[in-house]
Structure 1
Amino acid sequence: MAAGFDLTFDCTDARLLAGFWKTALGYVDEPPPPPFRTREEWLAQFDLPEDESADDGAWLCDPDRVGPRLSILKVPEPKTAKNRLHIDVRVAGHGTPEERWARIRAEAERLVRAGGTVVEEMDRHHILMADPEGNEFCVGAASA
């Protein structure tokens, strides 16, 4: 049996990054674990330091519970190098190479409007982008 996994982003602004990734992936805020009614209620059990708050983290999930959960956590240090792991956003649909490329470019444009940045277009195959905090990800076509 395969192990389940979550992905975690370190960041400086959890709310900003959570908003971007909800838009990019169609994810939603993950509900707090039972029996807690709110995320703040859940966090209260951990006796957080005075300078930390519920806004220092965000927890997202695929509404269909297929994709991995995302944790987005505020850290004091800035990003300093290229990611060693990144997300590939896959655009659905088939068709000619030109049609697939048009869908990839349209998705990249949508993500730019959401706060992302195009870094480089790769031979009409995929587009390397960065989220609002500089974390790299790619936009490409879904596998056939």
Structure 2
Amino acid sequence: MTAHIDLTLDCTNAPLLADFWKTALGYIDEPPPAPFETRAQWFAQFDLPEDDSVDDAAWLCDPHGVGPRLSILKVPEPKTAKNRLHIDIRVPGHGSPEERWERVRTESVRLVTAGGTVLHEDTGHHFVMADPEGNEFCVAAGPATN
């Protein structure tokens, strides 16, 4: 039996990061668990402090059910160091190395437009980027597709 994994990002602004990662990964808001119709209804069942809000978290999922679930949770402390684990966004496609690199460059530009920042470019291989709250991730060519 294999285990399923979720990835969790700590943040200060869950809606901001949720919007960025939905754009970056093509993810959607995960529906609330049954029998709840909304995340607010689900959230209300917990005995949480009054200043906790359903807007302090977001749950995203791959609409095709392939990628891991992404939880985005507000925390009080700021980010203080480089991530020890990061997400790699792999850009699919076939063609020459130059054509594949152009798709990676185009994706990095798209993610800058969505609020990301390029931290380093390893030309021909990958971009190291940061999301709007400074969480590092990479953009690289993925497996060739037909």
The TM-score normalised by the length of structure 1 is 0.98
| Counterpart secondary structure, 1:24 | helix
CA contact (8 A) 2:93 2:143 kept: no
Q: CA deviation at 1:53?
A: 0.3
Q: CA RMSD in A?
A: 0.6
Correspondence for 2:83: 83
Counterpart of 2:127, as a letter, is: I
Alpha-carbon deviations, 1:91-116, whole Å to 9, x = none?
01011111011000000000000000
> Which aligned pairs between 1:44-59 and structure 2 lie closer than 5 A?
44-59=44-59
Q: Distance in 2 between matches of 1:143 and 1:121?
A: 20
Q: Report sequence identity in percent.
A: 74
Aligned match of 1:74: 74
Are the aligned partners of 2:12 and 2:74 in contact in 1 as well (CA < 8 Å)? Answer: yes
Structure 2 residue identity aligned to 1:124: G
CA-to-aligned-CA distance 1:36-83 (integer Å, 9 cap, x gap) = 000000000102211110100000000001000000000000000000
Aligned length: 144
Per the alignment, residue 126 of structure 1 pairs with 126
Aligned equivalents of 2:51, 2:124: Cα separation in 1:
46
Moved over 2 A (4+): none
* Structure 1 unmatched ranges of 5 or more: none
Aligned-pair CA distance for 1:133: 0.3
Match of 1:19 in 2: 19
Q: For 2:79 and 2:121, how far apart are their aligned partners in 1?
A: 23
What displacement does 1:89 show?
A: 0.2
Task: State the TM-score, normalized to the length of structure 2.
Answer: 0.97
Cα-to-partner distance string for 1:7-33 (whole Å, 9 max, x where unaligned): 000000000000000000000000000
Matched residue, 1:39: 39
Separation in structure 1 between the aligned mates of residue 132 and residue 138 of structure 2, nearest angstrom: 14
Name 1:64's counterpart in structure 2. Answer: 64
- Give the superposition deviation at 1:35: 0.2
SS in 2 for 1:63: coil
